[in-house]
Amino acid sequence: MNNLISNIIKILSQFRLPSELRKAATFGLGITSFAGKTMETADFHSACSSVAPRISIPNTTVYFSDFVPTGSIIELRDNDPSCDRPSQFVLENICRIFMYTSTSTRSGLNLEVWLPRNWTGQFLSTGNGGLSGCIQYEDMAYASALGIATVGANNGHNGTSGKAFLQNPEVVEDYVYRSAHTGVVVGKAITKEFYGKSHTKSYYLGCSTGGRQGLKSVQDFPEDFDGVIAGAPANDFSGLLSWSGRHFGILGPPGSPSFITEEHWTNLIHTDIIEQCDTVDGVADGVIEDPNLCDYKPERLICSSGTNDRSNCLSGEQVKAIRTIFSPLYNPEGELWFPRQHPGSEDAVTRAMMYSGKPFPYTADWFRYTLYNDPNFDVTKLNRSDWAYSQAVNPFNIDTWKGDLSRFKSRNGKLITWHGQSDGLISPANSERYYDHVSHTMNIPPSELDDFYRFFRISGLGHCRGGDGAWAIGQTLRNIEKIQLDKEFLDPDRNVLTSMIRWVEEGKAPDVLLGRKYVNDSMALGIQTSRRHCRYPLRNHYHGNGNSSLPESWTCR
């Protein structure tokens, strides 16, 4: 192993790479020169400029192949404004290839492949979010900076709206699975054409819809990837959007008796939840380590009789609404449709999307433009019959709930799922539920499931990124200021992506994921808190003494 590392560092020294990326080789990233030879920047630039005419892939038109030097900012002027990605900083010399692939006479994908000069031989596909057709450029920049050839696709439509689904099942099919899989096929072909040889290992990185896409690959296209990282997966999609849609029915619009203002969610309810449940784990730090242990009782917030000032209390009807939100959704037969919302998840994203007094936008678009093909469908009146219809239709098996992962396991594939325990858009309990479903379906206990599938619960993490806890596990570059891809950030004990690479290529599986909370979420200001996040079904336990901000003060058992 030492000789291998020495050789890798020797090869790296031939490139003009940031020194910290050279150090990354010691963590099993396997960085080598591509095609077995060194290529200087000028040669790489020339190779990139000339590759587009050589690419011949069925139903695919390549529009450009541009050399983008380290430190450049790509202006994404044609990106839909709703994607909220006007530009992207590039961390390594890349060849950026943009193309369109037709998937039918009525549908097609925009694809980008980023090919780094310091190619490791590895390939990675990124995912998407929500109902969107937004390429995750930050994830492409992240992976390509590590020397990984990276592909991203737009799910067959542009922007975050679901309007493109209207009367067009081909676009729906792209969204459900075809875009992600096609991107892998095309991306691998272009990688081979450019570097002159096939990739060595293939990886996936995604969250939310991206997490569901990762599980879809594991279930239906097990040969696409050697390692899949699926964060906060939006599987059991029909149940999820029914659950999301019911929040409007519970709270109503602003001014209705059960509606709760943002100020009450922030200053009253969340504060009360933290007061009741924060110390269940033995530490008062503003983070509920395991919300499953939080039996929140909102009744003490009910206003006293005769109270005129209701700024610090709630009506009985409002408290009933809170109780319903923090309870599971069942069908008329008493079967679980979707798990409960976790107490402690009342962050700004949740308040804006779930508790705003408007129907959840993804639920509205899905029912209008996909299930009913009626833009005028009144989503404010969704009920159990609509939810049941959604599950019955399940277009192209978007639910992504298959429990038999034998084909992926048999080819030695590795799967990591993780979920923020303060996620208010997708109940974290759903990821526990899916893990248990796989265990039951395959008839193997967690001790054996660990051989290829590990699930980590990340306390204090909201939806995909951000939160009050040690949420940064190397899953994204977004929401962190002053990013430094240094030795510490890339350490596989601290980084879910490099941890997966080490598991696949060296056989060392992660027992924990060490998360960090940076001061003001800025790496430049240093680490505020570190915590080891346990693999399910283990729980984090505070020792009872010592600095709770240090990982050594906690044990998984």
d(Cα 132, Cα 110) in Å, to the nearest integer?
13
DSSP letters, 456-475, are EEETT--SSS--SSS-BSSS
What is the dihedral sign for C-alpha 433, 438, 441, 444? negative
Neighbours of 432 (CB within 10 A): 18
Is the distance from CB of 320 to CB of 326 less than 8 angstroms? Answer: no
Residue 414's DSSP bridge partners are 227
d(Cα 555, Cα 116) in Å, to the nearest integer?
40
Backbone angles phi, psi at 37, to 5 degrees: -150, 160
3-state secondary structure (DSSP) of residue 272: helix
Instruction: Identify whether 537 is preceded by a cis peptide bond (ω within 30 of 0).
Output: yes
d(Cα 28, Cα 266) in Å, to the nearest integer?
44
d(Cα 251, Cα 207) in Å, to the nearest integer?
28
d(Cα 214, Cα 228) in Å, to the nearest integer?
6
d(Cα 134, Cα 110) in Å, to the nearest integer?
10
Is the distance from CB of 129 to CB of 85 less than 8 angstroms? Answer: no
Two structure tokens written together for 477? 């570059």
Instruction: Let me know if 423 is a catalytic residue.
Output: yes
Give every CB contact of residue 492 below 8 A, 6+ residues apart in sequence. 27, 28, 498, 499, 501, 502, 508, 510
Torsion, CA 213, CA 218, CA 222, CA 223, rounded to 10: 50
Give every CB contact of residue 395 below 8 A, 6+ residues apart in sequence. 169, 172, 173, 176, 370, 371
The catalytic residue among 463, 491, 530, 553 is 463
d(Cα 75, Cα 86) in Å, to the nearest integer?
6
DSSP state of 361: H
Identify the CA nearest to 440 among candidates 404, 392, 396, 390. Answer: 404
Residue 65's DSSP bridge partners are 97
d(Cα 23, Cα 91) in Å, to the nearest integer?
16
What is the dihedral sign for C-alpha 142, 177, 403, 360? positive
Side chain identity, residue 330: Y
Which residue carries 């044990």 as its tokens?
Answer: 555
Q: What is the CA radius of gyration of the chain?
A: 24
Instruction: Let me know if 208 is a catalytic residue.
Output: yes
The catalytic residue among 33, 125, 132, 208 is 208
Q: What is the largest CA-CA distance in the chain?
A: 81
The catalytic residue among 236, 272, 423, 468 is 423
Instruction: Let me know if 486 is a catalytic residue.
Output: no
d(Cα 465, Cα 231) in Å, to the nearest integer?
10
Q: Which residues are catalytic?
A: 208, 423, 463
